[in-house]
């Protein structure tokens, strides 16, 4: 009986008042206001002759806030609506549907401009300036902005407009995005049908153009673009090279480096067989130490002239070999000599080969960005209710992806500007469990509202510190 006596006399009722279930999400919405995102979106989305009951900038921020807190469907906006005594009026699911439908038509460029304007202010607020990207337990140059491009499959469990069979033999969409490795922001994303190619140059250059436009102008001078082997194309490297040689005023003096996966073709294999044994040098692990049974070599000079003449000026090919892990799928060539080979191309002319290879492998961090985005709305696209918006589904899903990008930015800004160390490195699920879903009681005294977090909650002090940091951000005047 002692094991179950804790529940003796326990009664449950639904008449509590002044209780806020997801109090931590208030900090996310407050952050959007403090950095100016809500105001710039509201201004951008004003339509002549149209006075909505709910400001469209506020609606978009509320959807993003709901996604940060773990919402998966438009109906989850009700998790914010129950907090109207804190947040004020919040749009209903039906209003959110209409807002997403309206934004799908003509507002993408205006929203992008509003995001870029806000991002400029956020980067100016960063303590110590823009964080340097890290590679092998060291930092890259502080002024270097690293852009990671990748696409991912999002499975659709029902018929959706433009959903299609994917290369993985699933069914859904194949969106592509660009993440900033320095900050964790999702700078740009494009929704694509499931059968869209992995190495479609037009999609890569399009989303990269949008991402670069998101970077504040003073930080566009030095860029590194990383792409995995699936995204490689000759056209993409030509486009990046042209950015280095462009003489237009907006690009003068810009340095754009690339580190792109390169297919190990028969020509590459032939070059590998001619590499002297002494030319191989040890590879580097994630801690900057020598990695056992892994070596690096540059093979640019061993490749046929007729091949290299077609490449962009300054392109290098570097190969890594390592002992394969159990179960690895090897080619006949790899079976023959017992090594697994991977190659990448870069136009960086300085630095040790091992460091350049470690820098390229750090592109794998984009998988964290994709995983977090899928846990923040990307994993499930909404569907029109009962056909209410026939033939508008793809447009609404495109706007949903835009809200996902804003949610990713808000999460990144929360980490960069407000969260203490105990919360800064949390995965989305843990951040929600410890902070975003913390309950609170709202009291009023002397015309002031007081959000009281539970004294016994293990992360209350960290939560209070996060709220304090957000409220310390000066409002735009």
The radius of gyration computed from the CA coordinates of the chain, to the nearest angstrom, equals 25
Round to whole Å and give the CA distance between 251 and 395: 33
Are 317 and 276 members of one domain?
yes
Distance between CA atoms of 178 and 408, rounded to whole angstroms?
A: 12
Task: Answer with the residue of higher pLDDT: 277 or 50.
Answer: 277
Backbone torsions φ then ψ of 57, nearest 5 degrees: -65, -40
Q: Is 360 exposed, middle or buried (0-12, 13-18, 19+ CB in 10 A)?
A: buried
End-to-end CA distance of the chain: 62
Q: How far apart are CA 323 and CA 301, in angstroms?
A: 25
In this structure, is residue 99 part of a structural domain?
yes
Grade residue 248 by pLDDT with cuts at 50, 70 and 90.
Answer: very low
What pLDDT digit, counting tens, does each position of 416-450 carry? 999 999 999 999 999 999 999 999 999 988 788 89
Listing DSSP states for 13-30 in one string gives -S---SEETTTHHHHHHH
Are 193 and 335 in the same domain? yes
Token output for 86:
């804190």
Which residue in the block uniquely carries the two structure tokens 């806030």?
65
Residue 159: phi and psi, rounded to 5, are: -65, 125
The Cα 232–Cα 236 span in angstroms is 7
Each residue's pLDDT tens digit, 335-345: 567 788 899 99
Q: What is the mean pLDDT of residues 449-475?
A: 94
Mean pLDDT over 231-246 rounds to 86
Asked if residue 90 is part of any domain, the answer here is yes
pLDDT reported for residue 383: 67
Q: Which two tokens stand for residue 182?
A: 């320095």
Q: 189 and 277, same structural domain?
A: yes
Question: Is 359 inside any structural domain?
Answer: yes
19-20/440-445 β-pairing: antiparallel
Last residue of a domain, one of 348, 372, 396: 372
Residue range 111-143, pLDDT digits in tens: 999 999 999 999 999 999 999 999 988 899 999
State the greatest distance between any 2 C-alpha atoms of the chain, in Å, as a whole number. 85
- Among positive and negative, which fits the CA dihedral 120, 124, 125, 130? positive
- 64 and 155 within one domain: no
Question: What does the block give as tokens for 101?
Answer: 């439908």
On average, the pLDDT of the chain sits at: 89
Query: Which residues contact residue 129 at a Cβ distance below 8 angstroms, ignoring those fewer than 6 apart?
Result: 123, 142
- Does 128 map to a domain? no
CA 425 to each of CA 134, 288, 338: distance values in angstroms, whole numbers, following the listed order: 15, 21, 39
Long-range pairs, 383-389, Cβ under 8 A, ≥24: 383/158, 383/160, 384/97, 385/97, 388/97, 389/97, 389/101
Q: How confident is the model at residue 37 (pLDDT cuts 50, 70, 90)?
A: very high
Residues 202 and 312 reside in one and the same domain = yes
Q: What is the mean pLDDT of residues 191-204?
A: 90
Neighbouring CB atoms inside 10 A of 394's CB total 16
Question: Do both 219 and 302 map to the same domain?
Answer: yes
Please indicate, yes or no, if residue 124 is contained in any of the structural domains: no
Residue 433, pLDDT score: 95
Residue 477 is assigned to a structural domain of this protein: no
Query: In the numeric block, which tokens belong to residue 236?
Result: 């993409």
Please report whether residue 134 resides in a domain. no
pLDDT, tens digit, 9 for 90 and up, residues 70-79: 999 999 999 9
Most confident of 156-170, 288-302, 379-393: 288-302
- The answer to whether residues 314 and 355 touch, using CB atoms and an 8 Å cutoff, is no
Based on the fold, state whether residues 36 and 98 are members of the same structural domain.
Answer: yes
Residue 51 has pLDDT above 90, yes or no: no
Q: How many domains does the chain have?
A: 2
How far is it, in rounded angstroms, from Cα 130 to Cα 133?
A: 9
Q: Residue 190 and residue 247: Cα distance in Å, rounded?
A: 28
Residue 446: HSE in the Cβ half-sphere, 13 Å Cα cutoff: 1
**Is the CB of residue 209 less than 8 Å from the CB of residue 225?**
no
Contact 187, 120 (CB under 8 A): no
| Residue 215 pLDDT | 97
Please say whether the beta carbons of 168 and 153 come within 8 A.
yes
* Cα distances (Å, whole numbers) of residue 371 to 153, 340, 364, 366, 398: 11, 27, 12, 9, 19
Contacts of 271-275 with C-beta under 8 Å, sequence gap 24+, read 271/299, 271/302, 271/303, 272/299, 272/319, 272/321, 272/341, 274/302, 275/299, 275/302, 275/319
Tell me: do 283 and 363 sit in the same domain: yes
CATH code for position 299: 3.90.350
At residue 12, the pLDDT reads 87
In the listed set 352, 372, 392, which residue is the last one of a domain according to the structure?
372
Residue-range definition of the domain harbouring residue 28: 17-116+382-471
Strand partners, 179: 148, 186
Looking at residue 162, its pLDDT comes to: 84
Query: How many residues are recorded in the chain?
Result: 477
Task: Mention every residue, 6+ apart, whose C-beta is less than 8 A from residue 293.
Answer: 322, 323
**Which stretch of DSSP H or E encloses residue 179?**
strand 176-180
* Same domain, yes or no: 174 and 235: yes
The arrangement of strands across the sheet holding 19-20 comes to 19-20, 440-445, 448-452
SS3 of 240, please? helix
**Statement: the pTM of the whole predicted model exceeds 0.85:** yes
- Alpha carbons 84 and 442: distance in angstroms, whole number: 11
* Per-residue DSSP letter, 375: I
Q: Both 233 and 364 in a single domain?
A: yes
- What are the structure tokens assigned to 442, written together? 């709202």
- Residue 360: predicted pLDDT: 95
Tens of pLDDT, residues 310-338: 899 889 999 999 887 765 666 666 556 77
| 284 found inside a domain | yes
pLDDT of residue 384: 53
**Same domain as 335, residue 245:** yes
Q: Residue 5 corresponds to which tokens in the numbers above?
A: 């006596």
Residue that finishes a domain, picked among 341, 372, 403? 372
User: In this structure, are 244 and 356 located in the same domain?
Assistant: yes
222: β partners: 255
């Amino acid at each position: 009986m002692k094991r179950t006596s804790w529940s003796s006399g326990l009664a449950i009722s639904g008449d509590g008042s002044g209780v806020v279930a997801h109090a931590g999400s208030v900090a996310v919405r407050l952050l959007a206001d403090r950095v100016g995102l809500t105001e710039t979106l509201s201004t951008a989305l004003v339509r002549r002759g149209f006075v909505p009951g709910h400001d469209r900038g506020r609606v978009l921020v509320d959807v993003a806030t709901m996604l940060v807190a773990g919402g998966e469907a438009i109906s989850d906006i009700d998790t914010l609506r129950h907090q109207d005594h804190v947040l004020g009026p919040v749009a209903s699911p039906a209003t959110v549907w209409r807002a997403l439908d309206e934004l799908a038509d003509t507002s993408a460029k205006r929203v992008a401009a509003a995001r870029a304007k806000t991002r400029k202010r956020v980067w100016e607020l960063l303590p110590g300036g823009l964080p340097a990207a890290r590679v092998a337990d060291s930092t890259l140059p502080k002024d270097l902005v690293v852009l990671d491009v990748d696409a991912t499959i999002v499975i659709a469990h029902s018929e959706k407009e433009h959903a299609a069979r994917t290369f993985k033999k699933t069914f859904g969409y194949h969106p592509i995005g660009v993440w900033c490795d320095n900050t964790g922001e999702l700078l740009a994303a494009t929704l694509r049908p499931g059968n869209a190619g992995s190495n479609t140059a037009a999609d890569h250059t399009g989303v990269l153009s949008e991402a670069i436009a998101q970077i504040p102008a003073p930080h566009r001078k030095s860029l590194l673009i990383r792409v995995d082997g699936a995204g490689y194309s000759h056209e993409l490297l030509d486009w990046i090279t042209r950015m280095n040689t462009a003489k237009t005023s907006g690009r003068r003096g810009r340095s754009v480096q690339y580190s792109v996966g390169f297919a190990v073709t028969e020509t590459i294999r032939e070059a590998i067989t001619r590499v002297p044994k002494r030319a191989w040098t040890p590879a580097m692990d994630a801690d900057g130490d020598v990695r056992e049974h892994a070596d690096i070599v540059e093979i640019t000079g061993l490749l046929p002239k007729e091949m290299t003449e077609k490449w962009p000026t300054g392109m290098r090919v570097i190969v890594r070999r390592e002992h394969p892990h159990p179960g690895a799928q090897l080619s006949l060539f790899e079976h023959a000599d017992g090594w697994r080979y991977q190659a990448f191309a870069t136009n960086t002319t300085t630095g040790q080969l091992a460091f350049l290879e470690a820098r390229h492998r750090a592109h794998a961090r984009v998988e964290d960005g994709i995983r977090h985005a899928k846990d923040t709305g990307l994993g499930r696209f909404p569907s029109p209710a009962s056909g209410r918006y026939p033939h508008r589904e793809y447009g609404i899903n495109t706007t949903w992806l835009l809200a996902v990008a804003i949610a990713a930015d808000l999460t990144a800004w929360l980490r960069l500007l407000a969260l203490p160390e105990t919360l800064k490195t949390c995965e989305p699920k843990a951040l929600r469990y410890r902070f975003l879903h913390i309950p609170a009681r709202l009291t009023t005294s002397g015309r002031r509202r007081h959000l009281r977090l539970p004294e016994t909650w293990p992360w209350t002090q960290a939560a209070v510190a996060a709220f304090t940091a957000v409220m310390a951000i000066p409002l735009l005047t």
